[in-house]
Structure formats: C-alpha cells, structure tokens
Amino acid sequence: MASENVIEFTDANFDAEISASEVPVLVDFWAPWCGPCRMIAPLIDEIADEKKGSVKVGKVNVDDCPGVASKFRIQAIPTILVFKNGEKTGQITGLTSKADLLSKI
C-alpha cells in the first residue's frame, strides 16, 4: 500500500474497524495478482489522502482474508464496499472512476 492513510483490514480487525468508525468507510477488496486492482490502487490512495479524517479507507487482501471476503460474498475483484454507521451502503465491482467512488461515500 502506497498511502500511509490506507488501513489494512483483516479477518481479525475488520468488524471492529467498521463498527467503531464515526466516519464513512471505503473498503477495497483486492489481490496482488489482480491487474485491475493494481490499476485502481492509485485512486484508493488519493481518496485516502484527500479525505483523511472524513473517510476511513482500507484494503482487504482476499487471498489473506477469506473470511471477510466470504462474509460479503466477494466474487470478483476489485470490489469496493462503502459502510456508514457499520452498515453497507454501497458497492462497486470492477474498474471505476474516482468520481464514482466519491459519489458512493
């Protein structure tokens, strides 16, 4: 992860990070071998840097954290989920624009 403002979510910390957040949470489900995931990564980093303090941004490596990926039925990556008040409020699967990502927050 290039940005220091992107949190690594795992099976162990995911629920606590989402439920304890007082700001919206954007979660990128990805894998290192996924070309489209690598293409969208700079957008995720930009959002994390620009929205620091008003949006929590994190990533879930689906290979390392199959529990979280299974819980949300992630079948294609990249998949971006947005949570507000601990509840899933948005989802985007596949490549998308920064404007689309921001519109879901």
Neighbours of 3 (CB within 10 A): 17
Question: pTM score, two decimals?
Answer: 0.93
Whole-number pLDDT of residue 43? 95
What homologous superfamily does CATH list for 6-104?
A: Glutaredoxin (3.40.30.10)
Please tell me which residue in 1, 34, 102, 105 is annotated as part of the active site.
Answer: 34
Please give the Cα distance from 16 to 79 (Å, whole number): 20
Please tell me which residue in 26, 27, 37, 55 is annotated as part of the active site.
Answer: 37
Whole-number pLDDT of residue 3? 82
* 65 labelled catalytic: no
Per-residue tens of pLDDT for the chain, all 105 residues: 578 999 999 999 999 999 989 999 999 999 999 999 999 999 999 999 999 999 999 999 999 999 999 999 999 999 999 999 999 999 999 999 999 999 998
* 34 labelled catalytic: yes
Domain borders along the chain are 6-104
